[in-house]
Amino acid sequence: MRRALAAAALTAVLATGGAAVAHATRAHSASTAVGVGEREWRVYPYRTKVKPGTVRFNISNLGEDVHNLQVRGPHGYRSKVSPDIRSGQGYTLVAHLRRPGRYTLICTKPGHAGKGMKARFTVGG
């Protein structure tokens, strides 16, 4: 599977003369990546403070149950909810966190937040 993905990516780069790579690099340099691990009954962000802007939450489900993630913040901010992430799978949730303040990363599956699946996250200058 990985070989097929690598081959497809290489084909795309060769077909576009590298334009796809340049575009992807620009998009990633304008955002901040934050790894997030989820497992029963915890959410573990690998960094807990970023500057305001676009944040890519690279989520890994390290547990056995299905989980998801939503970012909640000041003034009623709610990101979209990630799709269900099965055990061993991952997903990248992009959130535009423009306001400084305290945010919460939360699993919205029924009962999960109540069991501890939430973590604090700070956006600041």
pTM for the whole structure? 0.74
Beta-carbon count within 10 A of 100 CB: 14
Question: pLDDT-based confidence at 17, cuts 50/70/90?
Answer: very low
Q: What's 90's domain CATH number?
A: 2.60.40.420
18 domain-assigned = no
Q: Structurally, how many domains does the chain consist of?
A: 1
Beta-carbon count within 10 A of 68 CB: 20
- CB 97, CB 57: distance < 8 Å: no
8 domain-assigned = no
The per-residue pLDDT for 125 is 72
